[in-house]
Amino acid sequence: MIKRWNNSPEFLMSSQISDRILILKKRSIFCKSSILICIDGLLRVGIVMEKVGYRVEEDILGVVEIPINAYYGISTARAIQNFQISGLRFPRVLIKAFGLIKYAAAKVNMELGLLEGEKAEAIMKASMEVAEGRFDVHFPVDIFQTGSGTSTNMNANEVIANRAIEILGGKIGDKKLIHPNDHVNMCQSTNDVFPTAINVSVADSIINHLLPSLEILNNTLESKVREFEGIVKCGRTHLQDAVPITLGQEFSGYLSAIDHGIERIKKNIDELLELPIGGTAVGTGLNAHPDFGRLVVEELARLTGIPFKVAKNKFEALQLRDSCVSISGVLKTIAGSILRLCNDLRLLSSGPNTGLGEIEIPAVQAGSSIMPGKVNPVILESTMLACVKVIGNDLSITLANQLGELELNMGMPLIAYDLLQSIQILANSSRNLATRCINGITPDIEKCRYYAEVSPSLITVISPLVGYDAAAKIARKVVGEKKTVREALIEEGFTEREVDEILDLKRLTMGGILRKR
């Protein structure tokens, strides 16, 4: 089916059996916008390609037409054509890192006398604008690209070069004024820039986003430990009744897990602070000033307030991303701890009438499209999904670190994307869990105590007095004859006073051994 669109002879649509509408016009450059049209009686989502004009750039492979309003250049345009894989794009924090690196490089090259002042100043201004997010829309390259990340590094070089040209009063694409490779990429290679950008963005995300979120979760749990300190409840092992515990003690375990996770991050982040910039293509530093790497690292430390340092061995830093695998493993451990915490809270809050119901979590939205009044633990469940994704990303990062051979790792784009995603969703879900769920938890004190009092495992306390086998017989009587523990102990000859001491539930949560009669 071929028909005219908006009565314009320039735009033709071919729908066939596809949901996509292809608008065809010879040798024109278009931008996309969504439309709704009716095809065979069905409402379809189509794409209109509106003519916006183009400029022409040439490289050793030939000529490419680029949208006239695009700040990127021919390398990025080829990458857009070559890597139409997922539609996934790198997050803002990685683009920020590229901007900071290019700013630092231009400044250092100017100070070393390698780049003339006017060009350097323009590149620095353009780089900082990229770091601030003004040109994010001009970073369209898919994350599934060349394994070194060359397309994204060149994307940054081209955007910064063209913006610098504009700052200098030139015409975008005039490489004679500012060249993306010769000037913006001076003393650099993708092979040392991309891993540097990974480490800068990951460290930035951890220090300024993840750790503060985990601290909020940690502080919220700590307040609940204090609040629940005196609430006695039944402990459970294998989902069976066990000896008493306080709700505060139970929550202290969750608190300790998060506290250890924070400490693990702090212990492992030091390796991430090592930057390989200055190693250029294979780690030798060919085509870079001997002081370039050190000075760029110092400038990045100044810009970010993060104590970055020169990599101890730049060859290792280019061959492997072990620092990323290491920190991902820590994130996986924390995700596992939070996943377990959420699962416990779902059990403890189960009900309202047929579950444990020892705690009540805040109701934040209706839980069912068919059962009126039902409320589900949605914050817990969303957090659990995020944790599962972090755990899955860890395997992806581990495998990507094995890609490549000899002098270069070839899994860097995937490592960057997955690691930054893990940090983001772990940080956001941790904060959400703390503020929208745990902070509002209230205990059912009477139900907690009731479960503790009827647990047959209370017999454990007399085991040192009468022996394990005799205590087991009393426990079986409690269960089999539907007796209370108090009744069973009195039948065994214990006095009321002794039973009161034995069944002092709060004392039982403090450990120790009952004195012999």
Cα 411 to Cα 139, 193, 196, 245, 469, distances in angstroms? 19, 14, 14, 48, 60
3-state secondary structure of 91: coil
Query: CA 124, 126, 128 angle in degrees (round to 5)?
Result: 70
Phi then psi dihedrals of residue 115, to 5 deg: -130, 125
Q: Chain-centre distance of CA 97, in angstroms? A: 17
CA distance 427 to 201: 15
CA distance 190 to 280: 7
Does residue 14 have an active-site annotation?
no
User: What is the token pair recorded at 101?
Assistant: 């690196």
Burial 480-490 (b: 16+ CB within 10 A, else e): eeebebbebbe
Does residue 368 have an active-site annotation?
yes
CA distance 139 to 77: 10
Which is the catalytic residue, given 14, 18, 33, 368? 368
Q: Which helix (H) or strand (E) holds 338?
A: helix 322-348
- C-alpha dihedral (314, 319, 322, 324), degrees to nearest 10: 90
CA distance 182 to 437: 54
3-state secondary structure of 231: coil
Q: Which is it for the CA torsion 419, 422, 428, 434, positive or negative?
A: negative
E strands present in 266-341: 274-275, 309-310
Phi then psi dihedrals of residue 10, to 5 deg: -85, -20
Which is the catalytic residue, given 14, 209, 238, 396? 238
Cα 233 to Cα 454, 471, 485, 501, 512, distances in angstroms? 10, 22, 16, 18, 18
Question: Which residues are marked as active site?
Answer: 238, 368
